Each structure stands twice: as C-alpha cells, then as structure tokens.
C-alpha cells in the first residue's frame, strides 16, 4: 500500500540520528528545520514508538498528560544558529536576528532563542514582560503593533526597548512624550524605527499578507515624506525603517525585492531630511513545511537572498550597508514542536468518512479552522503499522468546523492511542483559547533524553481564576 507514513519513516531513518544537545551530528546541523515535517531529532525507537529529543512520546504523555506540546530543543537551537550563521556568511555588514515571539511567547522559548544571541520582536506589554523575564536585553527588544496603548508605550520606553512606530497617532504620542521629557536630566530620546508599507505582494493566505498597500499596518508610501519631515523636527531618535510583507511565504522574490524598495526611502531620509538611518528591518515570513508538498527555501537560502537584495540595492544607491535585521517567527519555532493527543472514539458515516476524535482541537490549534491550514500526523505508539484507513481527525469542540486534519491515512486506531501532529510550534500555543472551557495543555522541552515542563497544564480551577460572582448571585450557588 502506498502511504504517507513510510515516507515519514524513511525520512526519519535516512536523515535523523539520535544525538545529544552538546554533540550534534553534522547531518543534523545541515538540515534546515523549516524544511522538515518532523523535529530534527525524531526517530522511531525499538518499541516502535515515536521518540523526540531522546524521549519516548508515549511515555511523555503518560508523565505529563494529554494533549501535550513537545518542543525539541535541538531543532530550535539549530534554526537559531542557521539564521545567525547565514548572516555571518552572506552579509558583510552588521546583522541581528529577532525572534517574532507572537509565534510562541513563553519564558523557555524566549530564553532559548535569547541564549542563541537572538533579539525579540514583541507586540504587547505581555510579550515585552515575557522577553524581559526570560533574560533578553531590552536593547534587543523591538516593539511592534498597530495600536499600542499609552501604557504599553511607557512600559516599553521605561524598559529601554526600541519602538517600531506604525502610524501617525503613535508617532505624535511619542513625539509629545519626548518633548515633555526632553528637559529632564535623565532624558533618553525614544529609540524608534518607522514601519512602512512596501507595496510588495506575496502569495499566502490573505489574512497573513501585510506588505500590500491595502494593509492596516505601517505608514502608506504617500505619507513618507511628511513622516520624515515630522521626525526630523522631533526629539525622537529614529534609527531606521521596517517592512514586513507577510507570513508562510515560499517565494524568494518578494524578499529579494524589499532591499530595492526600502533603499529609496533610506536615501530620501538622509538626503532630504538629514535623518541618519543605520538599521533596516526586513521582517519575517519564511514558510515551513506542514505537508509533503510544501517546499519552502532553506533558512540559509532565504538569508542569502535578502542579503544579496539589500547589498545590491545599497551599493547601487551609493550608501553604506545598514545593520540588517530580520524577524522570523514560524521558521524558527514552527517545525520544532509537535502536539500529542489521545485518541477517543470514532464515527463512520457510511460511504462518506470516518471521524476519529482527539482530546483537543481548535482551542490548542486554531489554524485549521482559521486558515484551512493542513497538518500531518502519525500514531506514536504504532509507527510501523500499515496505513490501512483514511480518516478525518476531529477535535472535541462544539463546532462542526473543529477538524484538525481531513483525509489522512493512519493505521487502525483504538481509544487511548497517541496521535502526534507535526509543525505545531508556531501560532498554536500563542493563539490557543479556552473555548468550551478547555484548560490549555502543558508544554515540555525535550533534549538528550530528558524532558522538562515549560508550561504547566491549566487546571479546572485555573479556568475560574478570573471569574467573579457578584454577591447577589450567591444564593444560586451550592458551593
């Protein structure tokens, strides 16, 4: 029978060796994690179970419960190192990778990427707090968002973060703040960048395109001269410009083009408005492989392409190379994590389909219902069984659209089997909800045969933590 599983297993056997965090094999180093369906350390062990980071996934579920996010530390560190090393190899100027923490903001992920020398892109006070508590230097934290509150702006400025200014309202608020504080002895001009809409289209889901002109993010190109004139008159310390064109992008061309678009504005700012920019941030967006047919470029090819685009554009314009920043999220963390679920019942609708249900769904992975995203999965406790059925994996939420995977080939399953969905590191936990009052799952990090909890499982009591019952309603309660 031709099946999906043997190709996964073959990939596992042919490219992935057991390894330790300290002593990585060169074959692991050279694989670009964003091009893999499985985390780099995934193997099938002698019990015919899926093993990640030297830990048997079935045992992890027994120990930590289900559903469970399992993060492979080797994969995440390898992705960070590949971004960093590719810049060192392909870009002559200074460079800095910022992790777009919206993909998964939690202390452990921020601490791992921070320890690899990456900075962090944040979009809320919560993400700032997480990055700071994880030990990331505020000088490496860049604060985005199209409606930052006054409170968030003050928090970011007091912490020493750089603000990526999105619009006039924010620019004027910051200029006013800088003006008010400029006489104080301790005054530090707010360090800002300007987010511009580059007018570059790319092929991805329309909800996650951001670089086209009709976008809620960034200053419109028509306003740029007025913005530069305003900034030149202010006490703001504007260090450069930023653009982000979208997410889950497989083409290289749009990212190659960014340099050419941005350099004109870089030059204009200097020549006409005396603004001495030093930083250029070209955003994130490199895609990952969720299913076999996905074919994203490698991390190194992406960095090589953006570096060449920027280098050529700045040389042609006669400008010195800027400090080049990029802010990947999905391609750093997406393929490094899987979600393990416990299979419950099944339902066969004759001649139509068989539903297999799991103990999670759209609350821990809202991407299928939101973007019709596709995923791959295996049954972790029977990795070599033949794939004898085509089934649809249904979540447990009260919503017909709560389908995690449509028409996937799996072995015969029974209640209690462990289903593992790949590629759940990005925009899963960070977009998780408590819909139907399901507690959010736990997350563990694995490596060298050890596992550690990085996010505790929510309890039933946690779900009531923020609820308040007014006095006058107490008569209706029994407890």
Would you please indicate which residues are annotated as catalytic (active-site) residues? 398
Residue closer to ligand LLP, measured from CB, 8 or 98: 98
Q: Which stretch binds ligand LLP (CB under 6 A): 37-45, 55-63, 98-106, 311-319?
A: 98-106
| Torsion angle (degrees, nearest 10) of CA 324, 100, 196, 282 | 30
Shortest reach from residue 322's CB to ligand LLP, in Å: 17
Shortest reach from residue 336's CB to ligand LLP, in Å: 13
Strand, coil or helix: what is 462?
helix
Shortest reach from residue 430's CB to ligand LLP, in Å: 8
57, 100, 125, 343: which one binds ligand LLP (CB under 6 A): 100
Contacts (CB under 6 A) with ligand LLP, residues 106-165: 121, 144
Is 411 marked within a binding site?
no
Residue closer to ligand LLP, measured from CB, 193 or 418: 193
Site mask, ligand LLP, residues 201-240, x = CB under 6 A? Answer: -------x-x------------------------------
Shortest reach from residue 373's CB to ligand LLP, in Å: 7
Q: Could you tell me the sign of the dihedral formed by the alpha carbons of 87, 88, 92, 94, in that order? A: positive
Q: Does 103 bind ligand LLP (CB under 6 A)?
A: yes
Is 367 marked within a binding site?
yes
Contacts (CB under 6 A) with ligand LLP, residues 49-88: none
Alpha-carbon separation of residue 380 from 126, 269, 270 (angstroms)? 35, 56, 58
Contacts (CB under 6 A) with ligand LLP, residues 253-292: 283-286
Q: Cβ distance 231 to 268 under 8 Å?
A: no
Nearest-5° Cα angle at 82, 80 to 84: 70
Shortest reach from residue 190's CB to ligand LLP, in Å: 19
Contacts (CB under 6 A) with ligand LLP, residues 408-467: 426-427
The site for ligand LLP, by CB under 6 A, has a size of: 23
Picking from 69, 76, 72, the residue whose alpha carbon sits closest to that of residue 55 is: 72
CB contact set of 22 (below 8 Å; sequence gap of 6+): 448
Cα–Cα distance, 451 to 221 (Å, whole number): 49
Structure tokens at 144: 């985005």
Residue closer to ligand LLP, measured from CB, 190 or 287: 287
Containing 326, the helix (H) or strand (E) segment is: strand 323-326
Cα–Cα distance, 203 to 277 (Å, whole number): 30
Neighbours of 25 (CB within 10 A): 13
Q: Does 367 bind ligand LLP (CB under 6 A)?
A: yes
Q: Cβ distance 328 to 100 under 8 Å?
A: yes
Shortest reach from residue 383's CB to ligand LLP, in Å: 28
Contacts (CB under 6 A) with ligand LLP, residues 321-340: 327-331
Cα–Cα distance, 31 to 16 (Å, whole number): 10
234, 248, 256, 307: which one binds ligand LLP (CB under 6 A): 248
Please state whether beta strands 141-143 and 119-122 pair in parallel, antiparallel, or not at all (unpaired).
Answer: parallel
Query: What is the separation, in whole angstroms, between the first and last Cα of the chain?
Result: 57
Binding residues for pyridoxal 5'-phosphate: 285, 327-330, 427
Residue stretches of the annotated binding site: 285, 327-330, 367, 371, 399, 427
* Residues of the binding site for substrate: 330, 367, 371, 399, 427
Point out which residues bind ligand LLP (CB under 6 A). 100, 102-103, 121, 144, 208, 210, 244, 247-248, 283-286, 327-331, 367, 371, 426-427
């Amino acid at each position: 029978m031709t099946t999906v599983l043997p190709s996964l297993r073959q990939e596992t056997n042919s490219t992935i060796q057991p390894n330790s965090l300290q002593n990585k094999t060169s074959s692991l180093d050279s694989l670009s994690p964003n091009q893999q369906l499985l985390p780099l350390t995934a193997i099938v062990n002698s019990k015919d179970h899926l093993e990640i980071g030297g830990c048997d996934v079935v045992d992890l579920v027994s120990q930590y419960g289900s559903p469970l996010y399992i993060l492979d530390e080797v994969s995440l560190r390898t992705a960070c190192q590949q971004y960093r090393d590719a810049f060192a190899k392909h870009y002559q100027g200074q460079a800095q990778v910022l992790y777009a923490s919206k993909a998964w903001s939690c202390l452990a992920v921020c601490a791992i990427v921070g320890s690899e020398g990456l900075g962090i892109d944040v979009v809320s006070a919560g993400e700032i707090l997480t990055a700071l508590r994880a030990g990331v230097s505020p000088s490496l934290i860049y604060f985005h968002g199209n409606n930052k509150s006054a409170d968030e702006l003050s928090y970011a400025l007091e912490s020493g973060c750089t603000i990526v200014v999105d619009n006039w309202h924010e620019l004027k608020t910051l200029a006013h703040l800088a003006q008010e504080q400029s006489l104080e002895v301790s005054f530090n001009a707010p360090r800002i960048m300007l987010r511009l809409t580059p007018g570059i289209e790319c092929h991805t889901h329309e909800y996650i395109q951001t670089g086209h002109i009709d976008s809620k993010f960034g200053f419109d190109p028509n306003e740029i001269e007025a913005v530069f004139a305003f900034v030149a008159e202010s006490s703001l310390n504007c260090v450069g410009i930023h653009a982000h064109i979208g997410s889950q992008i497989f083409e290289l061309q749009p990212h190659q083009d960014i340099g050419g678009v941005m350099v004109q504005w870089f030059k204009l700012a200097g020549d006409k408005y005396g603004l001495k920019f030093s930083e250029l941030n070209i955003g994130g967006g490199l895609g990952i492989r969720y299913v076999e047919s996905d074919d994203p470029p490698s991390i190194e090819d992406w960095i090589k392409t953006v570096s060449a685009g920027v280098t050529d554009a700045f040389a042609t314009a006669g400008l010195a190379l800027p400090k080049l920043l990029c802010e990947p999220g999905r391609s750093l963390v997406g393929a490094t994590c899987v979600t393990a679920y416990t299979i419950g019942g099944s339902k066969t609708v004759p001649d139509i389909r068989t539903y297999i249900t799991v103990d999670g769904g759209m609350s821990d992975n809202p991407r299928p219902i939101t973007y019709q995203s596709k995923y791959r999965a295996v049954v972790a406790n029977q990795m070599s069984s033949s794939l004898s059925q085509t089934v649809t994996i249904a979540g447990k939420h009260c919503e017909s659209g709560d389908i995690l995977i449509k028409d996937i080939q799996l072995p015969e399953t029974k209640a209690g089997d462990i289903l593992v969905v790949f590629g759940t590191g990005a925009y899963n936990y960070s977009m998780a909800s408590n819909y139907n009052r399901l507690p959010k799952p736990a997350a563990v990090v694995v490596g060298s045969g050890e596992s550690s909890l990085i996010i505790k499982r929510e309890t039933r009591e946690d779900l009531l933590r923020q609820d308040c019952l007014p006095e006058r309603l107490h008569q209706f309660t029994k407890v």
